């Protein structure tokens, strides 16, 4: 295998629209002995996405970024039609990061007429966002399986802001014996702590200011844990109470769950996961709390 870096045979970044073209490209790359890194996205790229792309670029020989707003993971009253689409800007960002190929399919290309086979997700998808957004993770798992089959990556990169998504896809990879490694990447935040999200662009200036309550509340739980609080229910209640003091915030859920099973936690480590509406915009965030001797610095 060559040292990771931009494919020397690629004169410029390829933009691929057809699934079979991507599959042929992936087969050619793998037959040449090069590893493929995949970064699945829905576009509207921000620094969080770019951190995944840079990690892939530093690890794999050939980097593929997919940009696809997946209708199968949106409910009937969600923001599919207004989800931000900034393709030209996204392509330029990919070029600047040394991406080798960008996959930009249409919905009809990935879900042709008569499409009827979906991935059935299990208990990991039942709680948290799965309870609030029925069918969401079925759509996530299905599109990820299709992207994995088409791009044949050695590694795929996922941000941990979407922690439950990572766990659901990780379970699918294990259960289906898929020959790839999932690489989890830390949450990337704005200077004031707000987790980077494409949906942040929906926020008005007042809502943008109010949205910082989510991170501040999670940090209060982290401080309380460091000071000795070990009851997951108390830590979650602290977060909920702090968020509810913000007039522009409406809690969808705040839960304390086991970071592996996503079932209610009984002790540490615990993931405090939150979904909060700021105005009409639903944002998610989380913090992992561990015993002090094993906690990340």
Task: Please say whether the beta carbons of 203 and 278 come within 8 A.
Answer: yes
Q: List, in order of start, the domains of the chain with CATH numbers.
A: 14-185 (3.40.50.620), 198-289 (3.30.1300.10)
The per-residue pLDDT for 292 is 74
Number of residues written out for the chain: 297
Assign 292 to helix, strand or coil: coil
Q: Sign of dihedral through CA atoms 185, 191, 195, 199?
A: negative
Q: pLDDT tens-digit profile of 186-213?
A: 999 999 999 999 999 999 999 999 999 9
The yes-or-no answer on residue 136 being catalytic is no
Count of Cβ atoms closer than 10 Å to residue 93 Cβ: 19
User: What stretches of the chain show up as alpha helix (H) in DSSP?
Assistant: 19-31, 47-59, 87-96, 107-110, 129-132, 136-151, 163-175, 205-210, 212-226, 232-244
Produce one character per residue of 239-258: b if its CB has 16 or more CB atoms within 10 Å, e if not. bbebbeebebbebbbbbbbe
State the catalytic residue, choosing from 49, 133, 138, 146.
Answer: 49
What parts of the chain have a pLDDT lower than 50?
A: 1-3, 7-10, 294-297
């Amino acid at each position: 295998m060559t040292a990771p870096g931009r494919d020397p045979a690629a004169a410029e970044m390829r933009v691929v629209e057809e699934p079979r073209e991507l599959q042929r490209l992936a087969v050619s790359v793998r037959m040449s002995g090069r590893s493929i890194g995949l970064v699945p996205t829905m576009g509207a790229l921000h620094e969080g996405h770019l951190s995944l792309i840079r990690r892939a670029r530093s690890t794999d020989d050939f980097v593929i970024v997919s940009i696809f707003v997946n209708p199968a993971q949106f409910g009937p009253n969600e923001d599919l039609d207004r989800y931000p689409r900034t393709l030209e800007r996204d392509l330029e960002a990919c070029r600047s990061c040394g991406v080798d190929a960008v996959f930009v399919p249409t919905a009809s290309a990935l879900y042709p007429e008569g499409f009827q086979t979906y991935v059935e997700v299990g208990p990991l998808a039942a709680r948290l966002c799965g309870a609030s957004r029925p069918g969401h993770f079925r759509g996530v798992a299905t599109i990820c399986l299709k992207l994995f089959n088409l791009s044949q990556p050695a590694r795929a990169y996922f941000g941990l802001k979407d922690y439950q998504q990572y766990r659901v896809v990780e379970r699918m990879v294990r259960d289906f014996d898929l020959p790839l490694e999932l690489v989890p990447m830390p949450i990337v935040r704005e200077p004031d702590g707000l987790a980077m999200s494409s949906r942040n662009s929906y926020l008005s200036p007042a809502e943008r200011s109010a949205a910082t309550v989510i991170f501040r509340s999670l940090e209060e739980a982290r401080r309380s844990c460091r000071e000795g609080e070990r009851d997951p229910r108390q830590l979650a209640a602290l977060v909920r109470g702090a968020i509810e003091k913000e007039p522009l915030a409406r809690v969808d859920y705040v839960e304390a769950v086991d970071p592996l099973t996503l079932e209610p936690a009984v002790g540490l480590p615990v993931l405090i996961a939150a979904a909060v509406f700021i105005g009409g915009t639903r944002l998610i965030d989380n913090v992992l709390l561990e015993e002090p001797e094993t906690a990340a610095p």
